[in-house]
Amino acid sequence: MKQPLKSHATLIEGQMFRFARAGQGSPSIVLIGGAGGPLDGWFKLYPEIEALGTVFSYDRPGTGGSPKPTEAQYGETVVAQLRLLLQFAKVPSPFVLVAHSFGGLHANLFAREFADEVAGVLFIEATAPQDVDNLKQHQSALQRGFVKLLDRVSPRDAFDELRNERETVRDILEAPAFPPVPVTVLSGTKRLPRWLVPAALVRERERSQLALAALSPLGERIVAERSAHFPQLSEPELVIDTLKRLLARIPR
């Protein structure tokens, strides 16, 4: 049975963060979860991932052990907080960013803003900038109804990252070009029933996943045939193997 990750807490510019550091050596692997995804969501990758280098994970504000955000979570804010947290935890660059779902937006921006510190990026079922608007256009009536109901029952904090997702996309569009580092896009292929996820949405998602791989001339796409949206839980061995393959492509 996997053991819980040993975590710590610190205050960064008025915001409390929970984080965990494991492994040692270079490169530093930075795990960036999806919206609402705590650092514990990576647990199936341990302890194998610790053999690959220094491993850092954390809870963004309002997730897991990190309290609600004290300021709006625009993309620029999120990546600045992450960089300060990495410095506090003495996690050295170069960084290999491993980002799941909504965390893909933050990895995308971090790689652009701090290109000299990023050696590679692994996008896992990651959100692309165009997904923020395009996928909503193809949602089923049931999906739209569920989102509205959830927002009424449990409205999100005004500072929440999802409330500010369009600002994050704007930050990415205004940032420098994505660096020519090795990139791997790992996408799940198992889909929910068509009455829940329309075919048009699946096609749009496929286009955006290919667009992420095209961010770098060193980009590639790999599919996780036994996974839907969480390959790190359904196929952790594949995620580890994919990460090893990415690390092998990084110039020494």
What does each C-alpha distance from 40 to 25, 65, 87, 198 come to in angstroms? 22, 10, 21, 31
Could you tell me what percent of the chain has a pLDDT over 70? 88
Q: pLDDT tens across 108-142, in order?
A: 999 999 999 999 999 999 999 999 987 666 555 55
Q: pLDDT tens across 153-209, in order?
A: 667 789 999 999 999 999 999 999 999 999 999 999 987 666 567 788 888 999 999
Q: Is residue 68 part of a domain?
A: yes
CB neighbours of 155 closer than 8 A, spacing ≥ 6? none
pLDDT at 200: 82
Q: Is residue 70 part of a domain?
A: yes
Q: Is residue 250 part of a domain?
A: no
Of 90-94, 129-133, 192-196, 231-235, the least confident:
192-196
Q: Does the structure show a pLDDT above 80 at 73?
A: yes
pLDDT at 133: 87
Q: Is residue 88 part of a domain?
A: yes
Q: Is residue 159 part of a domain?
A: yes
Q: Is residue 248 part of a domain?
A: no
Structural domain including 181 reads 8-243
Q: What is the number of structural domains in the chain? A: 1
Average pLDDT rounded to a whole number, residues 246-252: 94
Q: pLDDT tens across 48-58, in order?
A: 999 999 999 99
Q: Is residue 136 part of a domain?
A: yes
pLDDT at 1: 42
What does each C-alpha distance from 212 to 2, 12, 120, 122, 139 come to in angstroms? 32, 31, 13, 10, 21
CATH number, domain with residue 92: 3.40.50.1820
User: Under a CB-based contact definition with an 8 Å cutoff, are residues 171 and 75 in contact?
Assistant: yes
pLDDT at 196: 64
pLDDT band at 217; cut points 50, 70, 90: very high
Q: Is residue 234 part of a domain?
A: yes
| Whole-structure pTM value | 0.93
Q: Does the structure show a pLDDT above 60 at 150?
A: no
